[in-house]
Structure 1
Amino acid sequence: MATTRYKTNIKYIVLPVLAMLLTAITFITDGKYKTPKPFFKLLTAGSDTTIKGDTVPPKVKDTSLRIITDTFGAGDTAKNIVTVDTLSFSKDSIESPIKYSAEDSGVLVIDKKQFMLYGKAKAENEGLALDANTIIYDQATEVITAYGGTDTSLGALNKPKLTQEGTESISDTIQFNLNSQRGLTKNTYLKQDELFVNAERFKKITKDEGFGYRTRFTTCNLDTPHFDFRAKKIKIINDKIAVSGPAYPEFEGVPMPVAIPFGIFPLKRGRHSGLLPPSFASSQDFGLGLENMGFYKVLGDNYDVTIRGNLYTYGGWSVNITPDYYKRYKYKGNLNLAIQKTKILNSSASAKEEFSTTNSFFITWTHNKDSKARPGTNFSASVRAGSTKYNQFVTNNSYTNFQNQLSSSITWSKMWSQGKYNLNISANHDQNNNLGLINLRIPTVNFSTTTLYPLQPKEFVGTPKWYQKLGVSYTGTVLNQISFYDSAFSTRQLLDTALWGFEHRLPLTLTLPQLGPFTISPSISYSERWYGQMLLKNWNEAVDSLETRIQRGFYTAREVTFGVSANTRIFGTFNFKSKTIKALRHEIKPFISMNYKPDLVSQYYKRVKIDAKGTETTYSVFQNGVLGNYSQGKFGGISFGLDNLFEMKVKDKKDTAASATKKIRLIDGLGVTGGYNLIADSLNWSPFSFSLRSTLFEKINITGSASMDPYGVDSFGRRVNRLLWKDGKVGRLTNGSLAISTSLKSKSKDGKTDQERVPVDETLTPDEQMRQLEYVRNNPSEFVDFDIPWNVSLSFSLSFYRTLASNLRDYTTTINSNLSVNGDFSLTPKWKIGGNTYFDFKQAKISQLSMFITREMHCWQMSINVTPVGLYRSFNVSISPKSGILRDLKINRSRFFYNQ
């Protein structure tokens, strides 16, 4: 087929195309600035409510108008203020009276059935309030029109302000039907919860629903917001939801070349069910993932449940189910059941399998009963239990990763006779995640009485006799315990490790009249324990090893102690002539007691051979019992100790008075305790215990303790009857600890105290407060305070102890020492950097390190979190609005790596 070609000049092509382009731009511009009729047509029951000039509304028959007016004015300064108490119409008009007032005047046009208010006009009707410069009411159409005015500089004056059920809007003009609540406003600014909306036109179709055209909405509360979104149309349902079409963001007035297809903004106050959106995560160990996706469901006024989960492409997942319940004056609690399947890619070349899979679970339950619900009876629960490997695989939570000691307690208690008799039944649990050892004590029953005075009459006459102060009390405790390793759990193991015991305590006390500065208190105590098992050890010559076995039965042991104690307080003050230091005060609190304990348990101590050389040692057949064992041998000796308190009185520089002083604690407590056995044939001295408590400069907290044995040891680590101070040595330290901590911060810019800055929510239980504290610890960048330029917390701890090895021959010394640093400081008034670290001196390495950088952006927040050291290495970059409405509108990038 032949093709015919033609030549033409380019102007014949360019000119038509240019004409079409200009025509299209004209239509687009016209469509942008003209109002579509269907969107702005007022829905006022078919009547035209637009007031134009002096248009006379149609007449309505049988309409009456009654007005009661009061004019306020006095002297030359009187203003023409018209205040009308009520404006009411006949039954075919409005259903309730209108309260109104105006500063200038009020005009009533009878034939047109119109009423005008001029000058700071106000009108109220059934929860609706309108303030404007001019308000016009047309009875025939039941339409109210409000306008603003201008001042002498032609500026806006008294713009119409409409308030309805707590929602305020300010517009250039307002026109609405009083009966149907339908109307139209121009250039309207309104606030719904945290959302600020500006609409070129806003049409209300019902009392609670409205449409906006050419809107701008934001959560920034500044007159010129930092950001907003522009949308052509938006629908708002009061206290429920706001929905917009395609929206375009602007930052500092600069439009962004991106758009969101639609927007959904919940406005409902209080609890309501809904989806919880996920966040995207990426990890070379777990794969790509969606984290924290879930659903929140309101089950009733007193119950709700939250379900969250994580899902990863390598096959790992986790689910958290958290129901909460609360009934005022009754109880409060929450439960969290976490189940996770961890599937980690093995990066090691020597790994036999491609993935490592671990299944684990964790249960957290807290319950507290209001004491006013049933006085005298209480039930509480604090449970933290689960698989010993669970904490190890919780991502991005370094505090949980290294939490290896867990414990739980569920307790029911009953009190009688105004607290004289108490019964406690509890179930307890503790576990060591490092060892995988779990101990359950189910149940533990404790019954006790307060000190009773059987010789004391019901009514005193005169001074009480000394023997009337003789008191007796009783405590009975039943313990049941089972232990097992979670890696080798079996029913047979539970039965083999089951232990039980019953202890009775019956102390008698007597307070004698004070002898001068001394208080004398004699006492007698009787204790008896019942055991359900006995530990027997035997050296097997055939295999040269020590064998142990448990013999079941019913066994008893008892102990009696007699004692008398005396204590007093000694004060001393040293005055100084210094202008700064006024005095030094020293308080000594010594005590001494004499005690006697006969040996009633010698038959329960056995000697056993522990090696092929014939070395023997002594052990108690009850040493592994749930109640422990009584100490061997008689004791008749002296126990003594003293505690010291040091204070310094200095001049108060903040007080201008010449005699103003203040006290400074130097040492809160410095004590030592010891004892000497008068009837023992050797090893008479007991180990000495030392303690220290101090708060230096009201900033540095110091606590310390130590135990020193005055006797030496042999090659097997056993005490021998050789006093070390005879060899020029003070003694032998067997264990000790030292903890030093401080928290320093600069003065706040706003002058608020810590209590004002972080108010304590008294409705939260201690466990809930701990979980909130844990969340703050794990997300420090979300809780920085820019009003405090810097703050730092330091904590150093050192401990050591000696323990007998499993071969019963050697002693091992364990030393632990670590340093913890946590803080932040402001690089600029808007930039802050901080972090926390944990250094283990025993391993000579940083066990955990987390850092963050955050930027204060008024209505937005930006944070960068980096964890380069720890069980999980991770980084996270997040930019999001602070408002809860837009919390899902965020830029988030996170990755984490498991340190295998």
Structure 2
Amino acid sequence: MQANKHLLLFLFVLVSSVQYVSAQEDPITPLPIKAVKDTIVAPLLPPNILNDSIQVDSVTQDSSQGKKPLLLDKIKYKAKDYVRLSQKENKIYLYNEAEIYYQDTELKAGIIIMDYVKNEVYAGRIKDSTGTYTQLPYFKQGTNVVIPDSIRFNFDTQKALIWNSRTEQQAGAGSLGSDAMKVLAEITKKENDSVYFLESARLTTSKDTVDPDYYIKINKAKFVPGKKIIAGFSNMYLVDVPTPIALPFAYFPLTTGRTGGLIFPTFTQDPNRGFAVQNGGYYFPINDYVDFSILGDFFTNGSYGFRTQTIYTKRYRYRGNINFRYENQITSQKGFSDFSRSTLYNIQISHSQDPKASPNSRFSAQVNLGSSQYFTNSFNQINVQNTQNNNLSSSISYSKTFPEYPSVNVSLTATHNQNISSNAAPDADNITLTLPTLQASMERIFPFAKREGIKKGIIQNINFQYNLRAENRIRTNDEDFLTGRMFENAQIGARHTIPLNTNFKVAKYFSVSVGGNYEDVWTAQTFQRGLDPNDPDSNREVVLDTINGFDRYNRYGLSASVGTTLYGTFNFGEDKKIQTIRHVMRPSIGWGYTPSFEQFYDSYTDLNNEEVLFSRFEGTLNGAPSLNKSNSISFSVQNTLEAKVRDKDSTKLEPKKIKLLSNLNFSTAYNFEADSLKLAPIGFNGGTSILNNKMNINFSGSLDPYTIDNNGRRINTFNVSNGGSLLRLTRASMNLSYSLNNETFKKKNKDGEEDNESELNDEYRARSGGRTDDLFGFGLNDDTFNRSSKKNQDDIENPIYGTVIPWDLRMQFTTSYNNSNRQNEFGNTSLMFSGNISPSPRWSVRVSSGYDFKNKGFAQTQLGFQRNLKSFDLRFNWVPFGRNERWDFFIGISSSILQDLKWESRSQRIR
């Protein structure tokens, strides 16, 4: 009984204490907000999350229960609408623009639920007022980004389960955007930071990842971000339609930078060589500075070819490439009359040095040599414009500058020039080499003036230089090229030159220049001529003996010139359309004297007892000195003609300047020492631009004051004395080029600029020395002409132009006239043209052709079009007739990642 009394007393005191504590708290005043049931339902989440009415338990959970947390850093989280903590469920609810940050992991979504006992998060979408799902989860860990519909992620194990994930992976050297691989998977399991397992996935490079125009469907795959995707059965779909393109397993490399791999070939057919596999090979990235690729062609009749390319570069030092091409061509089959075998090769080397690498020395190389018929006969020549080349040229040089006064520049150069024209004789020496050429020059020295300051007068302006050119020249043909026989007729020589000059003013308006030139010529061999004394008198012939050994001669001359500048201005009034015409004329008179160097000449008596003069230096590298004395006066005049016209824009206060004649030049000479024909023909040349500088006109010619006899030889009789005109036009040439586009005839805005922001690009890549304006054709696989319009149309679903259709046109007209022997005939007269037009933003059409008016025939003609199919490119190019008749068709994925998914077909050149 006593114990019960004590128990009742204890309970009374306890209840009183609780009431006292409660009495000390402020009363809670409820907010006057009407409770409305939330209609937003997040997918993949429990339905009672947003309607949870469980009271928050005031008793703190025992921390000793449950597993020990493995979090290594603080978790930061926030949300726009609310953040709610449920201690009963051990979860935190974040709604609307929810964000969580933990170490290198970032998660954003419409709704996020975090279990802080299991260290897991669940993220999903929310619906807006229209019922559309928004705020898709954004999951980023390190550099990998995944955008799914919902995700479940554990901070401890770093594992995740992802539904309808979308991620973008850069691969190779591709650019951002459409050239990246997009990976879409219904279910993705993240095993760790570097391994994902995909189920029901799609791979595409299409910009539209929700409804791509193509994709590769895979059932299961292992995905290593930034490295690779290893997949099982893979099937290509076009617009959700399966295609026969399928593989039992597939490997997709995703490594950034350069990676080695196979280059998929093209399958073609040649009527003379059978079926072929072309342009297949392998790419080797040797290191960060050098790579190497090899491609091959194989025909069923035994013909084959291979091409190698090496590209190297080192920033701020040098860069270059080396290309080698070889072909073993077999036509027909052994035993047939038309069977033939030939080999072709071509070597191209390019090396350039950064000027900052070594300011006082420089090495460069531009090499293009090989078989003369390579560009015309190669069975893999897709750059048709190269077939129009007539020359191959090369140059390898090293130069060194010694900057101390007087500075000296020394260079060593090896050059190559090869005539590959079809008109060249088969046995002609069509290859010229210099192995090497040594050049040295010393800067100009003024011995009677200080190095700094202005030089005045005759004495202070006296200056001289020193120049050296030594050369080993070789002339050979294709058969002897790169053999020991090509050195048999090598010519070796050197030339030392010392020019001495001074200049001064006379009467303030006349510029006078006086000087002389001394030249010392060295040679390693000379030639002796004469009749063979061992032959009978009736059959004696002139023989040529080669004398090996050092020999030299010198020559010199004097010169002087005086010139001035005259200005003529014709004013018509400011109220006239043409207000002023300004004529600038620069006349010049020069004198030159060169003595006769008969001391370097010998003679022999021929069978007619006539004395024949010859020099032992005839036929050497630098030739022989002149036997004739020259004492001549030269005349020249340069003209330019400009005009000031009233601007069409009335707001402009200043008149507009235009050039009527960019230049118009005349020149001739009179030789006092000549026994006849003392007056040289008058040469002229000029040029101008018209039609708002869209058309360039250049012309040149020659006017002869003397007449000719019945044999076409000039005689010492003026043409006017023979009943003709004062001057006889003997030759002339003219070149007109015109370039225009759809913006040419538009009105200009107030700033004088055309309405468009940028003009179409008229320049295209040079092809082994060919032209860059498409007038000689374009590459059959060249898609650069469509890139300018393609860049701005990728995001247009159904692009249209309205009333503006971009186009451009280039034309060039060339003609020549010859009347040296009264033939009065025109030489080559041709019109070349090329143009592009885009009927719609995704279509591009191009043409290149020309017409020869003399031979009455078309030049090489090409037609081509390209269609941008969003993720695909479609091309067709056609040479409809001529020696290079062929066609080429291509359709394939635009992205470089999957560029081997293509279909290409081309014809071989019809011979």
Structure 1 length-normalised TM: 0.81
Counterpart selection for 2:596 from 580, 594, 599: 599
Q: Residue 640 of structure 1: which of 631, 635, 645 is its match?
A: 635
State which of 581, 585, 599 in structure 1 corresponds to 2:582: 585
Q: Which has the higher strand share?
A: 1
Q: Which residue of 1 aligns with 2:370?
A: 386
Shift of 1:226: 2.9
Q: Distance in 2 between matches of 1:665 and 1:151?
A: 67
d(CA) in 2 for partners of 1:91, 1:615: 122
* 1:555-590 alpha-carbon deviations (Å, 9 max, x no partner): 433322212211222222223356543332221122
Q: Which has the larger radius of gyration?
A: 2
User: What is the DSSP-based 3-state SS (H/G/I as helix, E as strand, rest coil) of the residue aligned with 2:72?
Assistant: coil
Residue in structure 2 matched with residue 359 of structure 1 by the alignment: 343
Cα distance in 2 for partners of 1:64, 1:576 equals: 106
Q: Which residue of structure 1 lines up, in the alignment, with residue 522 of structure 2?
A: 530
Helix, strand or coil: the match of 1:236? strand
The answer to whether structure 1 residue 298 and structure 2 residue 285 are counterparts is: yes
State the match for 1:682 in structure 2: 676
Match of 1:238 in 2: 225
> Match for residue 37 of structure 2?
none
Supply the AA of the counterpart residue of 1:139. Answer: Y
Q: d(CA) in 2 for partners of 1:685 and 1:64? A: 118
Kindly provide the CA deviation profile for residues 61-100 of structure 1, in whole angstroms up to 9, marking residues without a partner as x: 86899xxxxxxxxxxxxxxxxxxxxxxxx99422233333
Q: Partner of 2:164 in structure 1?
A: 187
Q: Deviations over 1:14-48 (max 9, x none)?
A: xxxxxxxxxxxxxxxxxxxxxxxxxxxxxxxxxxx
> Contact 2:850 / 2:859 at 8 angstroms: preserved in 1?
yes
SS in 2 for 1:400: helix
Judge conservation of contact 1:398–1:870 (CA < 8 Å) in 2. Answer: no
What do the CA deviations read for 1:185-231 (whole angstroms, capped 9, x no partner)?
21223222322333222222222332332233322213543333433
* Amino acid corresponding to residue 117 of structure 1 in structure 2: L
Distance in 2, Cα, partners of 1:327 & 1:846:
47
Q: Where does residue 734 of structure 2 map in the other structure?
A: 738
Deviations 1:726-772 (A, max 9, x none): 332455556554322222222399934249x6999xxx999899999
Instruction: Give the Å deviation of 1:689.
Output: 2.0
Residues 457-472 of structure 1 aligned to structure 2 (within 5 Å): 457-458=450-451, 464=456, 466-472=458-464
Structure 2: how far apart are the matches of 1:346 and 1:796? 46
* Counterpart among 503, 521, 536 of residue 511 in structure 1: 503
Give, in angstroms, the shift of residue 799 of structure 1. 4.6
What secondary structure does 2:279 align onto? strand
Asked whether the 8 Å contact 2:525–2:550 carries over to 1, the reply is yes
Which whole-Å deviations, capped at 9, do the CAs of 1:511-537 have from their partners, x for residues lacking one?
Answer: 213532211111111122123334566
**Is the counterpart of residue 104 in structure 1 residue 104 in structure 2?**
no
Amino acid aligned to 2:318: Y
Deviation at 1:423, TM superposition (A): 0.7
- Assess, with a 3 A threshold, how the Cα gap between structure 1 residues 221 and 491 changes in structure 2: closer, same or farther: closer
* Alignment partner, residue 556 of structure 2: 560
The partner residue of 1:691 within 685, 692, 696 is 685
Aligned CA distance change for structure 1 residues 183 and 740 (closer, same or farther; 3 Å): same
Change over 3 Å in CA distance of 1:551–1:153 after alignment to 2: same
In the alignment, is the contact (CA less than 8 A) between 1:518 and 1:566 conserved in 2? yes
d(CA) in 1 for partners of 2:824 and 2:305? 41
**Cα 1:712–1:768 shift into 2, 3 Å:** closer
Q: Which residue of 2 aligns with 1:484?
A: 476
Do structure 1's residue 147 and structure 2's residue 124 form an aligned pair? yes
Counterpart CA distance in 2 for 1:735 and 1:666 is: 24
- Return closer, same or farther for 1:155/1:736 CA change in 2, 3 Å cut-off: same
Matched residue, 2:273: 286
Please tell me whether the aligned partners of residues 601 and 613 of structure 2 are also in contact (alpha carbons under 8 angstroms).
no
Query: Could you say what secondary structure the match of 2:508 adopts?
Result: coil
Picking from 130, 133, 143, the partner of 1:156 is 133
Matched residues in 1 for 2:95 and 2:360: separation?
68
Structure 1 CA distance for aligned equivalents of residues 296 and 271 of structure 2: 20
Alignment-mate amino acid for residue 795 of structure 1? Q
* Kept after mapping to 2: 8 A contact 1:409/1:428: yes
CA distance 1:691–1:547, change in 2 (3 Å)? farther
Give the conservation status (yes or no) of the 8 Å contact 2:388–2:770.
no
Aligned-partner Cα distance in 2 for 1:399–1:608:
55
Paired with 1:184 and 1:758, the residues of 2 have a C-alpha distance of 53
How far 1:812 moved relative to its partner? Answer: 14
Q: Cα distance, 1:235 vs. partner?
A: 3.6
Tell me, in whole angstroms, the C-alpha distance in 1 between the residues paired with 2:625 and 2:856. 41
CA contact (8 A) 2:384 2:778 kept: no
Contact 2:228–2:252 (CA<8 Å) still a contact in 1? yes
Task: Give 1:475 shift.
Answer: 0.6
Residue 797, structure 1, aligned to residue 783, structure 2: no
Label 1:249 to 1:734 Cα distance change in 2 as closer, same or farther (>3 A).
same
* Correspondence 1:574 to 2:579: no
Structure 1 counterpart of 2:466, from 471, 474, 477: 474
| 3-state SS of 1:288 partner | strand
Match of 1:627 among 617, 622, 647: 622
- CA RMSD in angstroms comes to 4.0
- 2:442 is matched with 449
SS at structure 2 position matched to 1:898: coil
Q: How does 1:818-857 map to 2 (within 5 A)?
A: 818-841=830-853, 843-857=855-869
How far has the Cα of 1:405 moved from its partner? 0.7
**Alignment-mate amino acid for residue 779 of structure 1:** N
Matched with 1:868 is: 880
Gaps of 5+ in 2: 1-43, 55-59, 171-179, 745-753, 791-804
Q: Which runs of 5+ in 1 are unaligned?
A: 1-48, 66-89, 805-810
The aligned runs of 1:400-419 (5 Å cut-off) are: 400-417=386-403
Distance verdict in 2 for CA 1:424–1:740, change over 3 Å: same
The aligned residue for residue 17 of structure 1 is none
Is contact 1:673-1:688 (8 Å) kept?
yes
User: Deviations 1:617-665 (Å, cap 9, x if unpaired)?
Assistant: 9876645432244444122221111111122322333x44142432222
Distance 1:618 1:286, change over 3 A: farther
Name the CA shift for 1:865/1:630 in 2 (closer, same or farther; >3 Å): same
Any residues of structure 2 matched to 1:231-380 within 5 Å, and which?
A: 231-256=218-243, 259=246, 261-345=248-332, 353-380=337-364
User: How far apart, CA to CA, are the structure 1 residues paired with 2:65 and 2:677?
Assistant: 113
Total equivalences in the alignment: 809
Q: Report how far residue 449 of structure 1 moved.
A: 1.1
CA contact (8 A) 2:687 2:699 kept: yes
Counterparts of 2:546 and 2:122, CA distance in 1: 95
> Does the CA contact (< 8 Å) of 1:383 and 1:410 recur in 2?
yes
SS in 2 for 1:563: strand
State TM-score, norm by structure 2.
0.80
Do 1:801 and 1:815's aligned partners in 2 also have CA atoms closer than 8 Å? yes
Aligned counterpart for 2:187 among listed residues 182, 192, 201: 201
Counterpart selection for 2:205 from 208, 219, 238: 219
| Cα displacement (A) at 1:671 | 0.5
- In structure 2, the CA distance between the partners of 1:243 and 1:545, relative to structure 1 (3 Å rule), is farther
Shift of 1:398: 2.1
Give CA deviations for 1:219-253 in whole Å, capped at 9, x if unaligned. Answer: 22135433334333344321222344444444445
Q: Which residue of 2 aligns with 1:86?
A: none
- Aligned AA (1:398): V
Q: Secondary structure at the match of 1:657?
A: coil
User: Does the residue aligned with 1:450 lie in a helix, a strand or coil?
Assistant: strand
With over 3 angstroms needed to count, the CA separation of the structure-2 counterparts of 1:828 and 1:298, relative to structure 1, is closer
Q: Are 1:751 and 2:744 counterparts? A: no
Please state whether the residue corresponding to 2:255 is helix, strand or coil. coil
Q: How many Å separate the matches in 2 of 1:245 and 1:783?
A: 39
Instruction: Say whether 1:93 aligns with 2:70.
Output: yes
Distance 1:841 1:758 in 2: 26
Moved more, 220-229 or 401-410: 220-229
